[in-house]
Amino acid sequence: MILLKSYTILYAEDESIIRLNITQQLSHYFKKVYAVKDGEEALSMYEQVNPDVLMLDINMPKLSGLDVAHKIRESNKSIPIMIITAYTEEALLLDAVELNLCKYLVKPVSKSKLKEGLYRLEETLLLQKKDIIMLSSEYSWNKQTKKLYRDNKIINLPLREQLLLELMMDKFQKNIFIEDISAIVWKDKFIEEISINTIKKLVSNLRKKLPKNCLKSVYGSGYVLTTT
């Protein structure tokens, strides 16, 4: 599982002995393990360190693992989440379908169970990598969800900015002509109604939400979107 060595994981577990044991095991696989003891700490740590993966115990003080997962899913639809549960809690997972869980592990979590879960996690990350275009170290585009992310958090765009970015990502690193922008972004209007200044204003607004020097003007023809 060499792939995991480049990723960080946030692990939340309220039982100290279990937390120490699993943290030690995870440290063999991940670049960095952030271990916390309850749901509130998990949310706070998530905001501070922006981990690549979450592993959450379902039954924790203050906020349950599912509560934490729900809150994080409001802004991050793609981060892989693993849930740890006891046999008596499996029914709760019926409510977790919408969370798009990567895997759930049943306590007690043995080394073999953990390794199985990490293999599943690695498969999920490999699939995600195929759908992700990195615009910079902070910004990315998910081809499947058609969403722009900064530090794994969705940047919500107005409709026409969204349409413009979709067009540019479909023709990533290729010149996009003014006429194409008019026809696709304003497909509900006649092309003659769309002025150059209107297009320039839209591009300017979108450029503010992208990495610096990512969206470039091509003199006399249009624009091109590249990495930085």
Q: What percent of the chain has pLDDT over 90?
A: 56
91 CB burial (10 A radius; 0-12, 13-18, 19+): exposed
| pLDDT less than 50: residues of the chain | none
CA 52 → CA 7, 15, 208, distances in Å? 6, 23, 25
Q: Tens digit of pLDDT for each residue in 167-179?
A: 999 988 889 999 8
Report pTM. 0.66
CA 45 → CA 48, 88, 99, distances in Å? 5, 28, 20
Maximum CA extent, the chain: 69
User: Which pLDDT belongs to residue 228?
Assistant: 77
Helices (H), ranges, the chain: 16-26, 39-49, 65-73, 111-131, 159-170, 178-185, 196-207
Domain 157-225, CATH among 1.10.10.10, 3.30.565.10, 3.40.50.2000, 3.40.80.10:
1.10.10.10
2-131, superfamily in CATH?
Response regulator (3.40.50.2300)
Which amino acid, residue 89?
E
Write down the mean pLDDT value for the chain.
Answer: 89
Domain boundaries, the chain: 2-131, 157-225
